[in-house]
Structures are given as C-alpha cells and as structure tokens.
Amino acid sequence: AQSVAQPEDQVNVAEGNPLTVKCTYSVSGNPYLFWYVQYPNRGLQFLLKYITGDNLVKGSYGFEAEFNKSQTSFHLKKPSALVSDSALYFCAVGYRDDKIIFGKGTRLHILP
Amino acid sequence: EADIYQTPRYLVIGTGKKITLECSQTMGHDKMYWYQQDPGMELHLIHYSYGVNSTEKGDLSSESTVSRIRTEHFPLTLESARPSHTSQYLCASTGGSYEQYFGPGTRLTVT
C-alpha cells in the first residue's frame, strides 16, 4: 500500500539558515512524489515534483528536494530560510489513477 | 496561480440545512477531487471524478454527494448539515501532468 510519513510535526529554523523538512514514502512501483505548501486559510500550493530523471528537483521559491531511492526519502530543502517560508508543508505520493496520498504535514517556523 | 475557484470561502450554517459548495476550474482538466481537511491537519480524499458523468467515493467516508455535469464544474452537496461536517473542504484538479492544483478552500461551520 502507498503511504507517506513526515516524522516532524514542527521544524524551527533561524532566518538565513538552511532548512530541511523530512519525508519518507512507501510505494509499489515507481513513485510520483510531491511537495505542497499551505498558508493560513488557503488551499495547497504546488512546490515541486519528482516523476523520473534527475534525483535533485528544483521548485518554486528556491526550494528543492532530493529523491533517494535507497532510503525511500524525498526531503525538502532550501539553502537560506526566509521568515515568509513559515507555513505548513505537505509531502505527497501519487498512486493509481492520479490520486495522491498526503502526509500529515510539517509546520515550519522561521525565526527572525 | 492555478485557475480553480471555490465559493463560498466561508460558510456558517445551522444544523439540518442543505448546502452546496461550488468548485470550478478553467484549465479544461478532466480529473477533479474533493478533500476534507481539519485545520492544520492532513487531507482526506472524499470524492473524485475522471470526467463528465463520472464520480467516485474517496478513501474517507463522507455523507456528501457530488456531480459532474460539465467538465469545469464539480459541486459538492450536503443534504442535511451536521456539526460533524464542520471542516475545510478543498477542491483540486489535474490535467495529466501528475500534480494537482488546489482551490482556496471553503471553511464550513455547522452550528
């Protein structure tokens, strides 16, 4: 069965420092992996995806994620955090018929 | 910004009322989805559609119903609202590039 785990409920990072939000997955077959961000009282906004190809994928707002097949991970990263990056981040895995399973979300706090 | 719209954005309604949450997209996407999300929590798929006259129930049981008469329109209806239906409802669509695009959501409160 497809599943995705975000082991951290909350991550705190000082502004200007690098950030990592962790995600691991379990899929049968080749994974389709996504990161979304949600700001308060808003829908989810697509950040980036891995379908095939280069393991390092770049997305919106300077975010990137690295697909690691051996560790079944897809961690979200950014070299230098901004206060405006503070939001709720969801990792997701795609499965049959274009459906997506979402992780529980990680709340990212960037401290000024 | 994806062209997917939801109305109303906020709705407070009494128990027993019938409500319809609207979702429209202008991208011509065949596949559309409804999710339920409690504030700050994970999303649960409650309905999806792969095209006109196609609707399926999702992984989370829901008392709501949906219809898909036109490609761009995917409304969700609750025949008799209850306090347990209080939540945020998110609509999404995809056009075959794998990622889903989300509307801004409707925050429903049933009193």
* Cα A53 to Cα B62: distance, rounded to the nearest angstrom: 38
CATH number of A3-111: 2.60.40.10
Of A49, A94, A102, the CB nearest to B43: A102
Residue B39 clears pLDDT 90, i.e. is over it:
no
Share of chain B above pLDDT 70, in %: 98
DSSP-derived pairing of the beta strands B10-13 and B106-110: parallel
Mean pLDDT of chain B: 93
Quick: pLDDT tens for A38-94: 998 788 999 999 998 899 999 999 999 999 999 999 999 999 999 999 999 999 998
> Which of A23, A34, A37, A44 is most worth mutating to test chain B (most B CB atoms within 10 A of its CB)?
A44
Beta carbons of B40 and A103 less than 8 Å apart: no
Q: Quote the longest CA-to-CA distance of chain B.
A: 40
Domains of chain B: 4-110 (2.60.40.10)
| Nearest partner of A72 among A33, A20, A29, A26, judged by Cα | A26
| Nearest partner of B32 among B10, B65, B54, B7, judged by Cα | B54
Domain boundaries, chain A: 3-111
